[in-house]
Structure 1
Amino acid sequence: MQSSKAPAPMEVEIAPREQKSEGALPAKPKFEPLKAHEMSDGRVQFRKVSVPPHRYTPLKKAWMEIYTPVYEQMKIDIRMNLKARKVELKTRSDTPDISNLQKCADFVHAFMLGFDVIDAIALLRLDELYVESFEIKDVKTLRGEHLSRAIGRLSGKGGKTKFAIENATKTRIVIADTKIHILGSFQNIKVARDSLCSLILGSPAGKVGKAVAKPGNGRTPCKSLEKKNYYYMNLVLQLKFNRLHCQSLNSAKNREEDVKPKAISL
């Protein structure tokens, strides 16, 4: 027997909708930076640095000083390939940044060029340091004794001139035969390079040292060096011209005295 009462309607609670403000953007997604082993489809990246014959023994002696910061601080694997005579570097699974591999390669390359480990290790700590290399023949073609004197002017007595330029420009300089390597920031390398070029061209070491240490009057050392070299060359040319002019006058005077008849004494 069916009841005559109709079923009671169901009570439904409607939750109030949150009104979104116009122009609101969703929260920015946060992606963690990829690690070295996650880049390039998980492939390990390598770098190889050749070892010159004259740096093989220094590398043996300073191996632990090179190995420790590269392996422990930069998290890069390093080994010496005795057969190929190359230092090999590769990334690890815990390498924090892929740029560490290139920094370590630059550090090892700087040591191979002749820089001390204490100086070259700055490449691992600072991003704005570079190594620039050039040869003496790139500035001026010199041969024989002229080349030897130019190298002597660059170094100075006991390395005095080289140390003065290093301290004034906050750089490190290596003079390896006719090749010159400079380690420092971009602007400091430019100032040191201009000073070394002036020495190669023949400027006295004293003038170059003063120009680097005290540029003065708001002028850059490069401009002051160029101006001094210009005055110096003009002075040399003027002295040579005066000397030749005096010699020509003296020779003409001597010829006139030879031609003039001598008085006969009675």
Structure 2
Amino acid sequence: MQKISLILLIHLILMFNASAQTDNSWHGKKCALVLTYDDGLNIDLTNVIPALDSVGLKGTFYISDYFNGLNAQINKWRIAAAEGHELGNHTIWHPCDGSLSGRSFVQPDYDLHTYDVRRMDNEILAMNNILKAIDGKSKRTFAYPCGDLKIHDTSYLDPLKNEFIAARGVKGEMLPMDKIDLYNIGCYTMNGQSTDEMIALVRKAMASHTLLVFLFHGVGGEHSLNVSLEAHSGLLHYLKQHENEIWIAPMIAVAEFIKSNRH
């Protein structure tokens, strides 16, 4: 009888520890969630930041300047950064491998297939300098343009890993803390999804105690990958209503937390 009681007690302790570990994985909440927005589009400043600010949430904005619009945006990005939004590095010219299928939009001068690692890394470092001039910060995260991690068969970010806390890719996945590759964090690219479809992803992350990263381009226009203002707003209001269950933070905060807390 005592042996059975001891086994039961050990089982209960293990179950409690497992539960406590799950509950505390993401600041005591069910999951972590990052809202990322690519390219530094004008709608980020006109549509997205006001929407985030209206519900008190913070986003991560991966900025590039392939459309030569950054100069006119600098003051607004500086204000956004001062208010807690993250400015991330998305290179200057957004080079992608134009040799791949569906890449007719890639301009010949910025075809990653014609780059070498040194040229790419110099461009990334230059963008870090630009961003520091805007927000004054040295710690940064990166997002791979088009999700391309390599030049030919070489990972171009490997020489720069000390320059970045983490990097976001484009693979659609949500993982627990101990399974996340901080230099290829998965995400879900949004294009035409409804509020309900996006909320379904959030609920899945909550149920699995994982990290969910959303990737937006257009929000109410300006990009071929687009979600409506209404769908985006519906997601934000759902997240705000469930803040007690979901840790919503910029990528850099989540990445630093992962580095400090996983074993």
After TM superposition, is the score higher than 0.5? Answer: no
Q: Shorter chain as normaliser: what TM range?
A: under 0.3
TM-score if structure 1 supplies the norm length? 0.21
Q: Which has the higher helix share?
A: 1
Which structure carries more relative contact order (alpha carbon 8 Å, separation 6+)? 2
Q: Which one has a bigger Cα radius of gyration?
A: 1
